[in-house]
Structure 1
Amino acid sequence: MGVITFDLELTSPIPLAKMFKAAILDADNLLPKVLPQAVKSIEVLEGDGGPGTIKLMTFGEGSQYKTAKHKVESLDKENFTYCYSIIEGEVLDTTFEKISYEVKITALPEGGSVLKSTISYFTIGEVDITEEEINAGKEKASAMVKAIEAYLVANPDAY
């Protein structure tokens, strides 16, 4: 098994606490609203949202995948960190054991926030991920953050 890791950093004008609440704590409700073509629904299969929780994401009509099971690895509301792994679904194919996402949101001194994410692909055997595939993943993550940001700007009292 190998591990391929890359980092992503995105800045936002949305304050730290609001971004964490929307993008992390309420993502199950918000993502299908702001990205319906990508995410049809997210439902909790077991757990209370904290570590050990298992969620099923059903992808929207615009996706090449149908479903993915996520496991919450950690959630730290005081330090604004969240870690989860995709543990089942077509996205893993026969190539990956799991894909893990570690997210930390910090405040910018001038206001707004920075979302830092480390994405780790745990491969089955030797696998090469191209720069194009990594960039496509970064673009999808960036689009998700921008969609949440646009929703929060348009609905300033939402969170």
Structure 2
Amino acid sequence: MGVITYDMEVTSSISPAKMFKAFVLDGDTLIPKVLPQAIKSVEIIEGDGGAGTIKVITFGEGSQFKSVKHKVDGIDKENLTYSYSIIEGDALMGVLESISYVVKINSHADGGSICKTSSTYHTKGDVQITEEQIKEGKEKALGMFKAVEAYLLANPDA
């Protein structure tokens, strides 16, 4: 199995605690509301939302994929860290065993936040993933982050 790791950083004017609450803690209901074309639904099939929870994410009609199983590896509300893995589904494209993510939201000097994400792709055998495939995934993640940010800016009491 091969391992490929990519890191991404995104800044936001939203405070770290508010962004973590929206993107991580309330994300299962908020993201389908804000981006129904990307995420149709999120359903917990095992667990209570904490570490070990398994979710089925059904993608919207605008997606090239149908669904994935998402496992929560850890949530640290005090340190604003969330880790999870995609463990099953067509987004693994038959060439990946899993994709693991670690998301950390830090304070930014301007009062906003910096979201740091580390993605680790676990490939099957000697399969190689192209830079273009990784770029597509990063762009989708960035789009989701920016959509949640725009929603929070438009709805400050949310």
Normalising by structure 2, report the TM-score.
0.98
Partner of 1:82: 82
Q: 2:75 & 2:38 partners in 1: Cα distance?
A: 24
Partner of 1:128: 128
1:21 shift after superposition: 0.1
1:57 shift after superposition: 0.3
Whether 2:149 is the aligned partner of 1:149: answer yes
Normalising by structure 1, report the TM-score.
0.97
CA RMSD in angstroms, aligned pairs only:
0.8
Partner of 1:71: 71
- Structure 2: segments with no counterpart, 5+ residues: none
1:94 shift after superposition: 2.1
1:93 shift after superposition: 2.9
Corresponding letter in the other structure for 1:74: G
Whether 2:91 is the aligned partner of 1:91: answer yes
1:137 shift after superposition: 1.3
Partner secondary structure for residue 92 of structure 2: coil
**Bigger CA drift: 122-131 or 1-10?**
122-131
Q: What are the Cα deviations for residues 110-141 of structure 1, in whole angstroms up to 9, with x where unaligned?
A: 21000000001101111222221221111111
Q: 1:68 & 1:76 partners in 2: Cα distance?
A: 23
Q: What are the Cα deviations for residues 31-88 of structure 1, in whole angstroms up to 9, with x where unaligned?
A: 1011110100001111111100000100000111111000000110010000000111
Partner of 2:119: 119
- Structure 1: segments with no counterpart, 5+ residues: none
What does 1:8-47 correspond to in 2, within 5 Å? Answer: 8-47=8-47
